Structure 1
Amino acid sequence: MRSLSGLWRVAELPTTRAGVERAFSYFTAGVRLGTVAQMVPAVQLGAARSPHDVGYLVCWGAAALAAVAVSAVTLVRRRPLGTTAAVLDFALACALLVLGPLVLAPWDRFGTWTAFQPGYALSVIITAGGVRGTAVWVLGLCAVSVGYGAYLGGDVGSEMNSTVVGNILTYVVYALVTRMFFGYTRRIARDADASRARAAELARREEERRAQVMMHNGVAVMRLLTEQGDAVSRARLVVQAEVELRRMRSYLRGTAAGGGETGAAADGEGPSTGLVPVVRRVCERFADLNIDASLDLGAGLRIPAAQAEALERALGSLLLNVRAHARACEVVVHLDAAGPEAAWTLTVHDDGVGFDPVPATFGVGLREVVVGELRRRGLAVAIASAVGEGTTVTVRSRPVPEARTTGPGRPTARAAFADAP
């Protein structure tokens, strides 16, 4: 009973190709069964006035049976008729038109449902708009038009010419309109399916990116733990590993590190946090790097919690890169701001080996955790480096134009990402 009660809930059909085809099956059944309903009241009168009552009833029964069968088949298949069934449907409509003059009185051929043949042929033309094969549709329309000419025979006076032409044009117009309706609706469904597939792929890529961002620092810490090192270094790495472990667990549970849903709070909304404590907390985890942290100018600065979380991950990733690759003797972290409400600039510079900062060659750490995440949070990022001259990463609270030339003594290669979204 539940499945039957839901059979006609067209409004609940999915907006997919399968859902559209099923809606077409409802449309087909409605048109064909509606035609039978119009044929029923006149059947007794038609048989009584027909010169061949048995023949009339046979033709009427064939039309009614075919309409019910088509309705049942389309509802079961959940899509319009196939090519073979459409050919048979057209053939029956043509046969009924050709046989019409034999079972109808001449005065009943126009304007009454005792002459059901033209109305039945019109219902076939309307529902045949869903046939996939264009050739079948065109040939079927032509065959019905020829059959209607045979139905008229030579008994139509000149005063009925306008009615005849109007009826033929009705076939053509309804055929074209329904064909356009079926075709356009199918195209909408295809586009909707393609859009959903695209959205699913983008969601998959975004989730993959988020996983990379959340897991990158933890993987880097675990890799460093597997390398040889003294007890002090390993103890510091264990502390960092615990921090990253909590972050990864939060991600796997679908919650942010602070207990909210991941990605639920937009930048500029929700709670804020102090910028200096965030930077100092990360620097303390990398005390072995000989970090010179100059943060006094940023005292009192507060930033959105989501922005602070992204900045903490990015700064941790930068310092992990310094530890793993830079071979630096000193790291300078400098925070500059004109006041608690002013724009701020955070600079991280190491005197290590440097690299060629071509964005296409960036790993996940720089590309996603640093540049990608900070830009998504409305922060501008610039990376300047040169082989043998160290690396400088600058994070700004709002984008500013990048200088086209570099001053003396500064690295000559620069990768700028100042165009925050």
Structure 2
Amino acid sequence: MSEAEAGQRAGVAGRESGVAAVERTRAVAVFALQMGSVVLCGSLEVIGDARWAGVWPMPALLALLVLTGLAISAPAGIRRRLPSRWLFAAHYASVAVICVAAPRLAHDLVVVWWPGSALPYVLLTAVMTGVSYRSWQAVAAWVGVLGGAFTYGSVMTGDEWWAVLPHVAGMVANAGVAWYVTRILTRNAGDLDRARAEEVLRTAQLSEERERARTARLLHDRILQTLEALVRDGWIADDGVRARVAEESRWLRAYLRGDDGDPEGDVLAVLETVVRQAVGTGLHVEFNAGRLRGSPDRERVPPEIADALAGALREALTNVAKHAGVRHAVVWAESRAGVLTLSVLDHGRGFDPARRPPGLGIARSIVDRATAVGGTATVDSAAGEGTHVTVRVPLPSPV
């Protein structure tokens, strides 16, 4: 695994840790609110001398309320994890049902204690909706249900509906503030996690760049210098071995410059591949592509043009090896004013263009390839004067 990949994994792990921390905070808040609600409900019932014990089915409804509350509190308090949204829905629905059923089932008892004992519990439940749901639509829906149920219970006990509006407004405000604060905490945690992940990735990339620079210095100062000395100073007598070492040294120098891209996606890499293949056959090729290497046009050469140039270059170098009578060629490539130019020059025996010998493949493999991509190709040669092949292809206009 590279250091950059390690940094990315560390960033993802950091983000997961931050999200988990926010979820734990929400779970603790839900646990505190729920336990507070259960204690409040229980204490009011004890103070009221178990007044609901004989009003059926109020004991069953209260038992359902306590059970759903405990089911929410258990994972939130022990495992620091929010339970299912359906469990929250069941609990909130039981609160609303009790607010509607209590005035009908035990109207006289409700008149005594409503809304003093019901309001705190409903308020805490409204706050819990803001903490437990991420969607404001869900929070608004449940606050509407709770507010409507509480208003109905108040009206059934003799209160005017408009007198309940301040209490409902308090539910809306408390739930909204709880939802907004939770959302801000979640967003800030995500921003911090992303910043930490980016910093870890930058550190890993810097370390990788330093390691590559160190490796490049070692390769350049030791191995590359040795390979080029073997070729330059004539220490290798065998022409094939010397050509192979020269090819590898040129590849290594290109790699150290950073020109190790995908041959299928970069015209310069395509041409260098053809040159290396020719060198592998024993041909000495001097490749000059400085004006193409730094040109912005290099990134917008379509694959079909790169393939055509590669085919033309391969055919031209093959002709040098087979027919020129020399083992040296000069390849020059540049891009200027939106035109890509490739030339191959040798100082071999040449030929008379008017009496072109068969088998050179110039018309089919060079001229036709250039014409197929909207370019032109010229071949200048004379007997005993060498051969100069030039291919020019205009590039598509940038979008």
TM-score by length of 2: 0.49
Higher helix share: 2
Name the TM-score, length of structure 1 as normaliser: 0.47
Which protein shows a greater Rg?
A: 2
Structure with bigger RCO (C-alpha 8 Å, 6+ apart): 2
